[in-house]
Structure 1
Amino acid sequence: MLRTGVFLAAIVVLAGGVLYVAQSHGPRNDYTHFHGEPQALRSPSGIAHRAWALDARGLIQLGLLILIATPVARVGMCVAGFWFEKDHLYVIVSAIVLAILLYSLFFDH
């Protein structure tokens, strides 16, 4: 699962990078000042909308979301697998790890 998730994320980021290079025909970007991502690329729904429209930056952000979601999904699968095996200790440990991961993703510090 981890290998597949990382491979899928790499393919999506690569496609977004190729599309970004193909779409950028203007002057070179000025990197002396930091400019954050636009508001549309700061939420998962905005990223999905821009990626569906084949926006290069949206595809790159989608690939990064897939990369972040891969280990979280793996821990979730571990919880389910240990639950079906009735291994209660590992269910509890995996659930704690999953809760920590989700807390760190969804709550701003």
Structure 2
Amino acid sequence: MKIVDKNNPAQEDVQFILGTLLRVGVILSMSVVLIGGFIYLFGYHDVNVNYSEFVPDAHYAALEPIIAGLKVMDGKAIIQLGTILLIFTPITRIVFSVFSFLIERDYLYVLIGLIVLSVILFSLSNKLVG
């Protein structure tokens, strides 16, 4: 078993990059959702909504309608893009961690990272829903 040196500059760089990746991902997704929210409010400000019953809008549940909505600057599509960015921020961190563990030749953590990544991607693939 390898002894991990906590004062290794390479490990500190990886931790700094991972922290920056998470911060940038959250700030970017928040900004996209905020811009989409403003566009949505300006585009749908005169629509009356009935809050007594919930009617789900599954139009933007797939990637193709989101891309089509982005082309016409639809606020709902932009908000959904920000949500997708927020979901994929930790997934990007896991992928980056797997590569950093590969560089360090720490194969146990590579295996653990790949298992975590496969579980997350399987759960996002709609195979669990039906």
2:96 to 53, 73, 77: 77
Secondary structure of the corresponding residue to residue 30 of structure 1: coil
What is the rounded CA distance, in whole Å, between the counterparts of 2:37 and 2:105 in structure 1?
Answer: 44
Alpha-carbon RMSD across the aligned residues, in angstroms, is: 1.3
1:4 to 21, 24, 37: 24
1:54 partner letter:
M
CA deviation profile, 1:7-61 (whole Å, cap 9, x unmatched): 010000000101111112324211212121243x110222122123210000000
1:36 match: 56
Secondary structure of the corresponding residue to residue 53 of structure 2: coil
1:44 partner letter:
L
TM-score, scaled relative to structure 1: 0.91
Secondary structure of the corresponding residue to residue 19 of structure 1: helix
Q: Segments of 4+ in structure 1 off by > 4 A?
A: none
1:86 match: 105
1:24 partner letter:
Y
Unpaired segments ≥5 residues, structure 1? none
2:12 match: none
2:84 match: 65
1:105 partner letter:
L
1:45 partner letter:
E
Secondary structure of the corresponding residue to residue 27 of structure 2: helix
In terms of fraction of residues, the more helix-rich structure is 1
TM-score, scaled relative to structure 2: 0.77
